[in-house]
Amino acid sequence: MKYNFLGNTGLVVSELCFGTMTFGGKGIWEAIGKIQQKGVNDLMKVVVNSGINFIDTANVYSHGESEKLLGQSIKDLGFNRNDLVIATKVRGRMGEGLNNVGLSRYHIFYSVDESLKRLQLDHIDILYVHGFDPKTPVEEIMRSLNDIVLTGKVRYIAICNWPAWVVMKALGIAEKHGWNKFVGMQYFYSLAGRDIEREIMPLAADQNLAMMPWSPLAGGFLGGKYHRGAKNTEGSRRHSFDFPPINKEKTYDIIDVITEIGKQHDVSVAEIALAWVRLQKGVTSTIIGAKDVDQLHANIKSTEVVLTADDLKKIDEVSSLPKEYPGWMAERQSADRALK
């Protein structure tokens, strides 16, 4: 396992982060995974033994069950909490109450206390804002996040799924007031969805923010079960929970290419797909998901896959994004500023 600094911080995280969205199985999360305590402990043993020190959960995963199962596994397995970097999130609805949702100061403070209870911890290492809240002013969000860090309950703040312009606005507001700023970003990024290359990745590079891609297998679509003409996908997550949205026809073409490359390297389609994400410039830690220990072992093994320049070229040809305005204009206008 290799390690990277988390953006512009002194915090060191493994190049793989373990995602716990498959824990619990409550409500809509049932289709994603129903792993209970024994299964969670089995996975967590493999995670820690492999050298992964970075764990990702969220208040909403299985309505708090994922946090509870994770916290209990740390206790059951006797892990030193200070060897782990634990991330959770705030934004989603956690109950009927009018204010039990969103990024108001009220909900951020309440949600962090509830997460800490479920995790049985006294602090969260990274608190992600889980998504956009069109109703709470960005100034209120950033001041509240700064204040929650000052309480000592949260060490760092980070962002998921916001449009680039709102992230930049939030960074500017935090800078103006001398508040804590986001240190990293968590966005959907996979061979089946390279959209963040347009605005989000350049923003991360410019602001020295860490990048933690989620759903690197597009929720299992790049796991090997799916290809053009695949007959039996029953039992897989995407069969009953078709998320995140992707262009399936284009992805079938990508799968054809990475299947061939996988054969040449004697590794699975999933391992090629994960290796590609890990090798992209600016990626700090890829958030892997697994339904069982076998999948987890395969995903960890993907860190040993070395893709050649020729592999990367073939993969890029089939998966790159179509040109889009103003990107193509910026590209044209950059040409005459390149030194010969």
- Scored b (16 or more CB within 10 A) or e, 224-246 reads bbbeeeeeebeebbbeeeebeeb
Q: In whole angstroms, what is the distance from residue 17 CA to residue 128 CA? A: 14
| By CB under 6 A, residue 14 contacts ligand NAP | no
Q: In whole angstroms, what is the distance from residue 247 CA to residue 272 CA? A: 19
Burial class (CB in 10 A: 0-12, 13-18, 19+), 210: buried
Q: Are 303 and 278 in contact (CB under 8 A)?
A: yes
Residue of the chain from 44, 94, 218, 261 that contacts ligand NAP (CB under 6 A): 218
- CB 247 → ligand NAP: shortest distance, Å? 16
**How far from chain centre, in Å, is Cα 139?**
25
| By CB under 6 A, residue 288 contacts ligand NAP | yes
| By CB under 6 A, residue 237 contacts ligand NAP | yes
Q: Are 77 and 45 in contact (CB under 8 A)?
A: yes
- CB 178 → ligand NAP: shortest distance, Å? 28
Q: Which amino acid is at 266?
A: D
To the query of whether residue 187 is one of the catalytic residues in this protein, the response is no
Strands 154-160, 182-188: pairing kind: parallel
| By CB under 6 A, residue 39 contacts ligand NAP | no
Using the Cα atoms of residue 275, residue 280, residue 281 and residue 286 in order, give the sign of their dihedral: negative
Binding to ligand NAP by CB under 6 A, coded x per residue (else -) over 140-169, reads --------------------xx--------
| By CB under 6 A, residue 224 contacts ligand NAP | yes
61, 187, 189, 226: which is the annotated catalytic residue? 61
Residue of the chain from 270, 283, 305, 307 that contacts ligand NAP (CB under 6 A): 270
As a whole number of Å, the end-to-end CA separation of the chain is 39
Q: In whole angstroms, what is the distance from residue 100 CA to residue 103 CA? A: 10
- CB 276 → ligand NAP: shortest distance, Å? 12
Total number of residues binding ligand NAP (CB under 6 A)? 31
Of 150 and 230, nearer to ligand NAP (C-beta) is: 230
- Piece in contact with ligand NAP (CB under 6 A), picked from 13-21, 100-108, 195-203, 245-253: 13-21
Interacting residue ranges for ligand NAP, rule: CB under 6 A:
19-22, 33, 56, 130, 160-161, 186, 214-220, 223-225, 236-237, 270, 287-291, 295, 298-299
**Catalytic residue positions, numbered:** 61
